[in-house]
Structure 1
Amino acid sequence: MDVDYQEAFENSPVGQAIGRNRVILACNHMFGRIFRGAIEDMVGQTFERLYPTQSDFEKTGQRVGGFLSIDSTFSDDRVMRRLDGDLFWVRVRGFTYTPEDPHSRTLWVFTELAKDGTSGQSLRSSLTARERDVATLLIEGKTAKEIAKVLDISHRTVDIYRTRLLRKYNVSRTAELIEFLLQG
């Protein structure tokens, strides 16, 4: 039985991207669907476009590089940005072929965390669908009243969810919560 590895990569049911020094060398169709872009619009671009902020891209790169240099692998749940600007939750798994230069040659797998409460091992993936919605809108800088309008709930309900998130992550301020969530 012959296996066409190129076809397997292109049609994988999970988003995959091959990176070199944090630039996308190749990606598959599911990666394009997850990030709402055409493959040709992503290849040759840095992964920075997919992070909420440039600062998040830089901090995450430093932190992830440390893990890759030690273990060659990395996994977490994080908020990322689609090409149309929408923020969403994704599970990211990565591998480096070059631990001595961790971002030099990498393979990344992305799985969108469904709004139905898909859960995994990390604390971030233990969020309920509504907590995930509120957290995403907080990261976008929306107020409780703005979040309430988007989600069609009361601003007091938003405050309840924000309080739950603060307790869950053992932080005292919304800014600390946002920083924690963006750290991935």
Structure 2
Amino acid sequence: MNSSNADIAFFHAPIGLVELENRVIRRANRRFSMIFGGTAAEYADRPLRDFYPSEAEFERIGARGLAVMRRTGEYHDERIMRRADGDLFWCRVRGQSLTPEDPFRHGIWSFADISDERPLVQLTPREREVAILTCRGLSAKEVGADLGLSYRTVEAHRARLLDKFGARKLPELVAKLSGMPL
């Protein structure tokens, strides 16, 4: 595929794509701009941190992603992100480093809006982390080890999540978090 065809494929891909250098957007495709708002050209040279709910989330997810990418060269998760107009939404994110020796230096990342599948409930950053790891099937002890928390603290976060989502038991919470029919 020549450069022109590659550019056409990138720009018209049916999923949001960005080319990142050191977590700064170098170029974005049409679908990315549809998800986040505006036009693709408006995203050139914008820091990815602009699309996180907070600086702390940007740093926390970046540290976790970097650790995984150093081992595998790729990363994926589902997280809350912020559109250009400030609205928050659930997003499925996948990244592939083009520079494995320095994973964030250059890579291609995809973004999919999954807000129709996930309810958006006000969560603290820690509740969001516990929710994501719970959906991955981790036990309270495993979540605690991953986040540096005691399993009792994880259970307290899960209890608040059950309440916020109106779920009676953990499987019902996971179903609501993952958008599965109940």
- C-alpha distance in 1, partners of 2:78/2:165? 19
- Which amino acid counterpart does residue 167 of structure 2 have in structure 1? R
State the SS of the aligned residue for 1:4.
helix
Instruction: Give the aligned length.
Output: 137
The residue aligned with 1:40 is 41
Structure 1 residues 164 and 84: CA distance shift in structure 2, 3 A: same
The residue aligned with 1:52 is 53
2:31 aligned with 1:30: yes
Q: Which runs of 5+ in 2 are unaligned?
A: 126-161, 174-182
Structure 1 residues 85 and 111: CA distance shift in structure 2, 3 A: same
The answer to whether the Cα contact below 8 Å between 2:95 and 2:110 also exists between their aligned partners in 1 is yes
State the SS of the aligned residue for 1:85.
coil
Structure 1 residues 168 and 41: CA distance shift in structure 2, 3 A: farther
| Alignment deviations for residues 103-150 of structure 1 (CA, whole Å, 9 cap, x no partner) | 0011101111151x3xxxxxxxxxxx4xx23x2x3459xxxxxxxxxx
The answer to whether the Cα contact below 8 Å between 2:79 and 2:90 also exists between their aligned partners in 1 is yes
The residue aligned with 2:153 is none
Q: Which runs of 5+ in 1 are unaligned?
A: 118-128, 141-158, 171-184
State the SS of the aligned residue for 1:60.
helix
Residue 169 of structure 1: how far off its partner (Å): 10
> Structure 1 length as normaliser, TM-score?
0.66
- Which amino acid counterpart does residue 84 of structure 2 have in structure 1? L
Structure 1 residues 69 and 169: CA distance shift in structure 2, 3 A: farther
Residue 100 of structure 1: how far off its partner (Å): 1.8
Residue 162 of structure 1: how far off its partner (Å): 3.0
- C-alpha distance in 2, partners of 1:82/1:89? 10
State the SS of the aligned residue for 1:37.
coil
- C-alpha distance in 1, partners of 2:54/2:103? 22
- C-alpha distance in 2, partners of 1:138/1:67? 24
Residue pairs, 1:34-183, within 5 angstroms:
34-115=35-116, 117=117, 129=118, 132-133=119-120, 135=121, 137-138=122-123, 160-164=163-167, 167=170
Identity %: 32
Structure 1 residues 165 and 21: CA distance shift in structure 2, 3 A: farther
- C-alpha distance in 2, partners of 1:165/1:81? 30
Runs of 4+ in structure 1 off by over 6 angstroms are: none
Residue 160 of structure 1: how far off its partner (Å): 4.9
Cα RMSD after superposing both structures: 2.8
